[in-house]
Amino acid sequence: MDRLVADRKYAGNSLLIARGGDIVFDHATGLRDREAGLPFARDTVARLYSMTKPVTTVALMMLAERGLFHLDAPVSEFIPAFADCHALVPGAVMLDQTEPCPTPTLHQLATHTSGLSYPFNPGVLARAMDAEKIIFGPTQGTLADMASRTAALPLGFHPGTRWEYSVGIDILGRVIEVVSGRPLDEFFRAEILDPLGMSETGFSVMPGTQDRFAALYTPLEGDAMALNEARSGGETLRLSQAPQGAPYLNASLYSGGGGLVGTIDDYLRFAEMLRRGGALGDARLLSDRTVRFMTANHLPGDIASMGPESFAEQPMEGMGFGLGGAVVLDPGRARCPGSIGDFSWGGMASTFFWIDPAEALSVVFFTQLSPSSSYPTRPQLKALVHAALTG
């Protein structure tokens, strides 16, 4: 961790490792704000980006446990704008080259097999999303409006036929709002964050924590999220977003795919809830059987077998996908030490977490550098942790 800072790869980073529920490693190093000279500490508030996705799928399954829907329900039952779906024909080079297709199901949205995409992926649909700025940013209006704008575009492929990293879990955030009758931030607060004691996590930087909010850096010239136009230069730590005036200080759009900000201790509590089968302390969010269902592989094989062409937060070979996160099927094929069945995901600012029920491990790593593909820190971290296990 110190070497990553010394080599000017990360401005700062922090790590918590819990085994059997006890914290066995705790370290923070470097700066959360290079310009102000402020340290990256255990209580630093960071952008979680896609580490929001497992929180949203937990919310989805909480509602499913109440019998309010089935995962094979078409999303159009909740968002009528998706009722008349079309997908790009194979080999399409124009956005109007489409054919009718089924409406994606909630399950397909949760597993990135819906036909949706992200603006930073390659392809016709991704370019259209980029032109329309469909990214579910914190100040881009409302979740309802952005979901409708997404539905106005064709799908990139017929649902269920491929895997492509997407805004599907953002759309599920809107489904949660419709089914629960509450804005997503209110549902998260009442049903997940407060019960777990995650008092410093939210879609906006929480009151009293603004002075601990980190800056975001990038090694790229230009937009840190524009992966299709990524250009690197001599400077590896370019300021991408200062804490002051950041859109996360007052979010209006609650992105279930990437909108949360919070502290590493808060996220460890979420990870421990999953590792313990849906409960932490006196709070039970899900049954242990539902958590096992969530963290199982929901694809026919590994991600690589489904022809992905997109960016992803994880390796694709030897890795399956559950609801909102990746599942290790074969550590050898994934070329990274790990246990079969460990469940993980990361965020665009290079954050990462995994739970390993076989080793009773919960691990959370924080930093703030976009994109997360800049350095192979995640497999290096897993190798270090597994090398340290001696009993």
Residue-level pLDDT at 311: 72
What backbone torsions phi and psi does residue 139 show, to the nearest 5 degrees? -120, 30
Are the beta carbons of 213 and 243 closer than 8 angstroms? yes
DSSP states of 285-312 = -S-HHHHHHHTS--SSS-GGGG---S--
Name, in order, each residue with C-beta under 8 angstroms of 295's C-beta and a sequence gap of 6 or more.
Answer: 274, 322, 323, 325, 327, 341, 343, 355
What gap in Å lies between CA 88 and CA 100, rounded to an integer? 9
Place of tokens 């599907």: 168
pLDDT band at 5 (very low <50, low <70, confident <90, very high): very high
Are the beta carbons of 158 and 114 closer than 8 angstroms? no
What gap in Å lies between CA 121 and CA 312, rounded to an integer? 9
Q: Which tens digit of pLDDT belongs to each residue from 84-97?
A: 999 999 999 999 99
Are the beta carbons of 162 and 113 closer than 8 angstroms? yes
What gap in Å lies between CA 152 and CA 131, rounded to an integer? 13
The answer on pLDDT for 286 being more than 90 is: yes
The answer on pLDDT for 176 being more than 60 is: yes
Mean pLDDT across 222-245: 76
Q: Which of 272, 268, 267 is nearest to 360 (CA)?
A: 272
Residue-level pLDDT at 225: 63
| Boundaries of every domain in the chain | 1-391
Of all residues in the chain, what percent carry a pLDDT higher than 70? 96
The answer on pLDDT for 228 being more than 90 is: no
Which uninterrupted H or E stretch holds 383? helix 377-388
CATH classification for the domain delimited by 1-391, as one of 3.40.50.2000, 3.30.230.70, 3.40.50.1360, 3.40.710.10: 3.40.710.10
The answer on pLDDT for 233 being more than 70 is: no
What gap in Å lies between CA 321 and CA 326, rounded to an integer? 4
The answer on pLDDT for 118 being more than 60 is: yes
Q: Which of 203, 198, 332 is nearest to 255 (CA)?
A: 203
Average pLDDT along the chain: 95
Name, in order, each residue with C-beta under 8 angstroms of 230's C-beta and a sequence gap of 6 or more.
Answer: 220, 371
pLDDT band at 309 (very low <50, low <70, confident <90, very high): confident
Report the 10 Å Cβ neighbour count for 292. Answer: 15
The answer on pLDDT for 234 being more than 80 is: no
